[in-house]
Structure 1
Amino acid sequence: MSLGCNDLKNSKTDKAITQVIKEKQITYTISATTPIPVVVYFNDIKVSEEHTPLNSSIDVNGYALKNGKYKVKIQIFPVFKRGDKVVYPEDIKSCRFSFGSFVRDGETGDISKPQTYVQLSLKDLNSPVAYFEQEWEVDIKELPYTLEGWSKGQDLSKMDKKEIEKKVIQYHESIRETLNQGNGDQWIDLTKRRATETAVFNYSSTERYESSIKENRMNVEKYCANRMIPLEDYELKLYAEGKLATLERRSHTTEFNNKSPLDIKGWGPLIRKGQKGGGADYRLLLYLPQNSNDFVIVRK
């Protein structure tokens, strides 16, 4: 699965989690500072929350299956909260993006060896536009692993859209029932593939992997039971050039579950209400393996 020194057997997955020496535990990242809402895509997959300002570093290891060249895309829409109908030149000038990497200590969270490879500079606007988009190509050279991910998935974009949408909706409805029942064991079983690959690109030890499984199970059992909202107001989205499918909320909101402002447009529709206000979504990125009719959860 990857290059490293010690393979630790994991009893829950019957697969080895390869331990990579710390100096090689590189994380590639898009740094973003934006006072306005933007959407960031990497490898044709949405990797940022939609319609929120960003002041963070977006890890992209989970969306790069191997070393190679990848596309970064930034989208900027009119600011819904202000009631804007256009994107203004000053909005573009206020945004800063770059592509780089660092090494994160898995135990302490400490960051070392930060590098910036390229500034993702936005082109200047001379006048307002209805919508802004720009792409760049970046190069990933030092990942110490290769993941299968969705690489062997079927191209859903070549299939009947209504049939795919029906199957994706049915899958989400089934997952909603699992979450609303607080069925942590079933959730862990359904997300096993995702969890195993996540352990690889996060450079997790077997102990950290098993701890995260335990925590995910507990969160579903403790927080999801009878608190999932109905599946509604969604649309089908295909990513990774048709290899991944999901559902996303279609409409803007100004508040949700007693929290204002809160815009949940673009969230996954599997939403858990918070006890006092707000909520959290359980986003599913699904792929359809070759010679199979059953979706598999591979990312979020």
Structure 2
Amino acid sequence: MKNKHLTLLMIVLWSVFSCAQQNKDINATNVVEYMAAKVKTYDKHPMYAIRPLQNNCIFEILVNDVLLYDEYSLEKAGTPIEINDNILKSGKQTLTYRLYPIGDLMVQEYGKGDTVTTLKKNTSMSLKIIRYDDFKTGRGLSDEIVIAEHTSPVKKGTREFIGAGLPYYEHTITFNAEVPYENEGWTNGQDLSKFDEEELEAVVKKRNLQIGELYQNKELDSLVRIEHVNGLMYAQANYRTKDKLQRIYDQYKEDVLKDKELQPMEGYQMEFYGENRIVMLRYSVIAPPYPWSQGQPALYYTFKDEYGTLADFLSISLYLPKGKALTPENLQIL
């Protein structure tokens, strides 16, 4: 049931179309025109990306403490992973990778081996952070400028991974970025870790269920207008053209209007990101309730197509603007 490509698509869709929150005149008919008119143009369009290469582990990558990419299979990324979504403005940025044991992936993939519960001596993560000076004029290998490189550390005097024997390892590096835009993003959010945990989780779950009901009922106009202060930042950070926005919207509309069945939210955990300003409900990476739910968002629905029953996971990242009371309606979607 797990479908990473659909998960990533839903992140983009929520990001692009939820900025029309305060304008009740925005609807499914004119949202593309609205967004295209709001995206600024620049002399150059710098884009940052990463090339991760893992060995004997699964992993997650966060940029500026916000989850950006995950890989819970043995597959290795073949193309660069763009990270401008998480770069709010020029200056110092952080990149964090989290490494986890491969579990029973060898058994699943090759029918041999044991379940691995700790990181191994030969576990490693190598990263290149690259920049394209102008995203719109060149994205080939010859246009890549490596601005930072990193390889996971080893124990002194050996080639053994420093985190060998651990069930989890995390490491953070910094790099500098220069972009022509400046977005507020989640920086105006409250520290959610200061709220009562049970109260916060209840409110966050209710907000997720509200969104899920809109999908269940195919309420396209309501979804287009859903409250979200910073939705425009993703379109701006990725220099979206009107044609690109239209293609994204066409897929978005198709997903909203298809028949679907919202699934119960249970067995998840609450996680904080963005220096505790962002909250998500997700299934555990280490001990998910079902194999297909590993690391996935807790809100999802199932649908049927020619391939059988599939699932769309709705990645809902929420933050509470400063000065706002903790209610489902005040939680904003990133």
TM-score under structure 1 normalisation?
0.81
The equivalent position to 2:153 in structure 1, one of 123, 126, 137, is: 123
Partner residue in 2 for 1:3? none
1:274-285 alignment runs, 5 A limit: 274-275=303-304, 276-285=308-317
Partner residue in 1 for 2:176? 139
1:52 aligns with 2:73: yes
1:64 aligns with 2:87: yes
1:152-163 alignment runs, 5 A limit: 152-163=188-199
SS in 2 for 1:199: helix
Aligned AA (2:42):
V
After superposition, the Cα gap between the structure-2 partners of 1:152 and 1:14, relative to the gap in structure 1 and judged at 3 Å, is farther
Separation (CA, whole Å) in 1 of partners of 2:142 and 2:40: 21
Aligned AA (1:268):
P
- For the 8 Å contact 1:43–1:64, the answer to whether it is kept is yes
Shift of 1:12: 3.2
- Bigger mean CA offset, 182-191 vs 198-207: 182-191
Shift of 1:215: 3.2
SS in 1 for 2:225: helix
Shift of 1:192: 5.7
1:41-87 CA distance string (max 9 Å, x none): 11111111252344142221111110111221111112122411211
Aligned AA (2:274):
A
1:90 aligns with 2:122: yes
Shift of 1:253: 5.9
Separation (CA, whole Å) in 1 of partners of 2:227 and 2:144: 32
1:104 aligns with 2:139: no
Separation (CA, whole Å) in 2 of partners of 1:196 and 1:215: 18
User: Quick check: which one's strand share is greater?
Assistant: 1
SS in 2 for 1:269: coil
Shift of 1:122: 0.9
Partner residue in 1 for 2:273? 239
After superposition, the Cα gap between the structure-2 partners of 1:292 and 1:101, relative to the gap in structure 1 and judged at 3 Å, is same
1:265 aligns with 2:294: yes
Q: Which has the higher contact order (CA 8 A, sep 6+)?
A: 2
Separation (CA, whole Å) in 1 of partners of 2:218 and 2:142: 39
1:158-201 CA distance string (max 9 Å, x none): 22222211111110111111112222222222266554222101
Partner residue in 2 for 1:260? none
SS in 1 for 2:257: helix
After superposition, the Cα gap between the structure-2 partners of 1:81 and 1:280, relative to the gap in structure 1 and judged at 3 Å, is farther
Shift of 1:117: 1.0
Partner residue in 2 for 1:73? 96
Separation (CA, whole Å) in 2 of partners of 1:187 and 1:40: 28
- For the 8 Å contact 1:101–1:114, the answer to whether it is kept is yes
After superposition, the Cα gap between the structure-2 partners of 1:129 and 1:278, relative to the gap in structure 1 and judged at 3 Å, is farther
CA-based RMSD of the aligned residues comes to 2.7
SS in 2 for 1:86: coil
SS in 2 for 1:241: coil
SS in 1 for 2:288: coil
Shift of 1:211: 4.4
- For the 8 Å contact 1:184–1:218, the answer to whether it is kept is no
TM-score under structure 2 normalisation?
0.74
Aligned AA (1:291):
G
SS in 1 for 2:187: coil
Aligned AA (2:294):
K
Shift of 1:204: 1.1
Aligned AA (1:61):
N
After superposition, the Cα gap between the structure-2 partners of 1:186 and 1:112, relative to the gap in structure 1 and judged at 3 Å, is farther
SS in 2 for 1:185: helix
**Structure 2: unaligned runs, 5 residues or longer:** 1-30, 106-114
Aligned AA (2:135):
R
Partner residue in 2 for 1:259? none
After superposition, the Cα gap between the structure-2 partners of 1:193 and 1:113, relative to the gap in structure 1 and judged at 3 Å, is farther
The equivalent position to 1:196 in structure 2, one of 224, 232, 235, is: 232
After superposition, the Cα gap between the structure-2 partners of 1:28 and 1:13, relative to the gap in structure 1 and judged at 3 Å, is closer
- Bigger mean CA offset, 80-89 vs 10-19: 10-19
The equivalent position to 1:33 in structure 2, one of 34, 49, 53, is: 53
**Structure 1: unaligned runs, 5 residues or longer:** 1-8, 256-262
Shift of 1:239: 0.4
Shift of 1:105: 3.1
- For the 8 Å contact 2:36–2:241, the answer to whether it is kept is no
SS in 2 for 1:18: coil
